[in-house]
Structure 1
């Protein structure tokens, strides 16, 4: 169910793009930026406002890997496991972050919705390998120890005991 605040937010995003169906990807990017994923109700509302079918908007949402239909945490941690990062030991970093957050590949988001952990094929920072990002902020030359400290720092910032 769409709340009034939700509708106002969606209407503002749609207005920004002049309710132009050819801007559907940019509109969906803005929706995901706002909610950290694409809520079903927001997609259906957007489809109606743009005069396109729900199937069309879901087709776009599922075609592009960067779109998520599942809620994500406030902090999305991406660990690169591309060739450069992998050979520089990204797997122990990945394992340490999962251990610290108590998440798995099948359950990547913490129960408190603070963190989502993802692996990616490449972050485009091979010279800084191994690399991870938190909400697109790059952490170069990562180690399991640095990963623990990064998580502690975020938790402190959020007012949680780490």
Structure 2
């Protein structure tokens, strides 16, 4: 069965093995003190995001209201309800990067990909998000793509990067 969340489809049949393993993880951890956070973290690790179907599964297995689970998951920035793209782009907007054009770089990515920060393209090729600091202020502005930092990034670099990762 496929369900649609926004423009994304979570296919339960395609994810059957992952769901079964995740259910085992929940069973193993549900009686520990404060099980929700590690279970949410595992869900995020297994599926790459927290699909609504997985949140409902957690709710039923832990007997915690879905609203409470959403409350916890939305409080922590590590959790996302949208799948990440194959190319995951983070634009630093810490002070040094912001002053040197980080916001303009983010805007250029948004314009070229036709998505906003925190979103993923419909084909799941790209996702973009902002971050407050990547720890390399001397090389500002910095952009991180799939964990690799690119220093002294410019608006002109956006087009090149998107062509490279097409």
TM-score after normalising by structure 2 = 0.74
Structure with bigger helix share is 1
> Which stretches in structure 1 are left out of the alignment for 5+ residues?
156-162
Structure with bigger strand share is 2
Aligned alpha-carbon RMSD (Å):
2.6
In structure 2, the residue corresponding to 1:84 is in which secondary structure? helix
- Do structure 1's residue 42 and structure 2's residue 48 form an aligned pair? no
Q: For the Cα contact (< 8 Å) 1:36–1:73, is it kept in 2?
A: no
CA distance in structure 1 between the aligned counterparts of 2:69 and 2:36, rounded to whole angstroms? 8
1:83 corresponds to: 95
Deviations 1:64-116 (A, max 9, x none): 122122343233211111211011111332233223322235x8321212111
Q: For the Cα contact (< 8 Å) 1:38–1:67, is it kept in 2?
A: yes
In structure 2, the residue corresponding to 1:92 is in which secondary structure? helix
After TM superposition, list the pairs within 5 Å mapping 1:1-162 onto structure 2. 2-3=12-13, 4-14=16-26, 18-19=29-30, 20=32, 22-105=34-117, 108-155=119-166
Q: For the Cα contact (< 8 Å) 2:91–2:106, is it kept in 1?
A: yes
In structure 2, the residue corresponding to 1:22 is in which secondary structure? coil
* Shift in CA distance, 73/9, structure 1 to aligned 2, threshold 3 Å: farther
Number of equivalent positions: 153
CA distance in structure 2 between the aligned counterparts of 1:54 and 1:130, rounded to whole angstroms? 40
In structure 2, the residue corresponding to 1:118 is in which secondary structure? strand
